[in-house]
Each structure stands twice: as C-alpha cells, then as structure tokens.
C-alpha cells in the first residue's frame, strides 16, 4: 500500500490517464463503485518514487495482492519474471479475455505471472465479469 501522500492534481491526472479503471485487471470504478487507489508500480519498499512515471491506478485487490512484489513465478516456465508494468508494457500484448469474458488470459510469462500474483481470476470476479458481459459492460475496449 502507498504510504506517501499523493497530491490531488496528480491523483486526478492518473485517474484520467487510466480511464478510471485498474491498470492491471481493467476493473472500472464505473461498474463496481469501488474507488481505485494510486499504486506505486515499483513499490516504495523497493525504492519506487512518488512520481508520475512510477504511479498508476489499481483496484484494491490488485494493489493488496501486489504488496511489495516486483516479480513472480510464471506457472508455465517455472521462471521468476517481472510483473506487468502498466507504463512500459502494453496490456493486450500480455493479456486477453477468455471467450466468455470471465477470465483474464495470460499471453506471456509476464501476463501469467501477474495474473497469478494478483489472483486476478478469483471466483467472485469471474462471476461479476460474466454478469457485466450480459449487460454489455465488458470486456472493456482495449484501445482506451
């Protein structure tokens, strides 16, 4: 979790930049009503600074599962790989949606490791995403 205060203008800039959705799992505030948090991409505990280039928007779940992690095991290769970096990596190159929209699919070691580290496909969120599909709210447009 963030410990440094984030100035209001910087917070607003990050919310706009990430279109009000989690930079990792793409869950939007507009659907859940849950406020997103400002996430240090490189955690403060690992020396990450409170500067725009190290900040993104994240849901509570991704932010809490991430903690101070910067790497995680890719289940396919067994290798320790970096987590997805929302400012350096392109989401659709590492992730896609399952056919029914319920699950995030990892396309690369980084994608698979990040899904596992953040528990991005837990049962409750899969059920919620499937309901969002029914009403046309999901999957999100990836070119936002």
Q: What is the Cα–Cα distance from 91 to 69, expressed in whole angstroms?
A: 19
Query: Cβ of residue 78: shortest distance to Zn ion, in angstroms?
Result: 25
For residue 24, the minimal CB distance to Zn ion (Å) is: 5
For residue 143, the minimal CB distance to Zn ion (Å) is 19
| Strand, helix or coil for residue 116 | helix
Which stretches of the chain bind Zn ion, using CB under 5 A? 22, 24-25, 59, 62
Spell out where the chain has E strands. Answer: 37-40, 55-58, 71-73, 80-82, 95-97, 104-106
Local structure of residue 54 (DSSP, 8 states): G
The nearest distance, CB 84 to Zn ion, in angstroms, is 11
Query: Nearer to Zn ion by C-beta: 24 or 74?
Result: 24
Of 34 and 77, the one with the shorter C-beta distance to Zn ion is 34
56, two tokens = 């993104």
Kindly tell me which of 61 and 74 has the beta carbon lying closer to Zn ion. Answer: 61
Burial 114-124 (b: 16+ CB within 10 A, else e): bbbbbebbeee
- Residue placing its CB nearer to Zn ion in the complex, 25 or 55: 25
For every residue of 25-45, DSSP letters joined together read T--BHHHH-PPPEEEESS-GG
């Amino acid at each position: 979790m963030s410990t440094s205060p984030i100035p209001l203008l910087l917070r607003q800039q990050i919310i706009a930049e990430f279109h009000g959705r989690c930079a990792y799992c793409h869950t939007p505030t507009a659907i859940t009503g849950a406020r997103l948090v400002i996430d240090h991409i490189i955690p403060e505990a690992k020396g990450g600074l409170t500067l725009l280039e190290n900040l993104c928007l994240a849901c509570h779940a991704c932010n809490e599962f991430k903690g101070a992690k910067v790497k995680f095991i890719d289940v396919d290769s067994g290798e320790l790989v970096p987590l997805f970096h929302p400012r350096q990596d392109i989401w659709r190159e590492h992730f896609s949606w399952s056919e029914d929209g319920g699950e995030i699919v990892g396309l690369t070691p980084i994608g698979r490791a990040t899904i596992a580290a953040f528990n991005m496909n837990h049962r409750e969120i899969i059920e919620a995403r499937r309901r969002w599909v029914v009403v046309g709210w999901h999957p999100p447009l990836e070119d936002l």
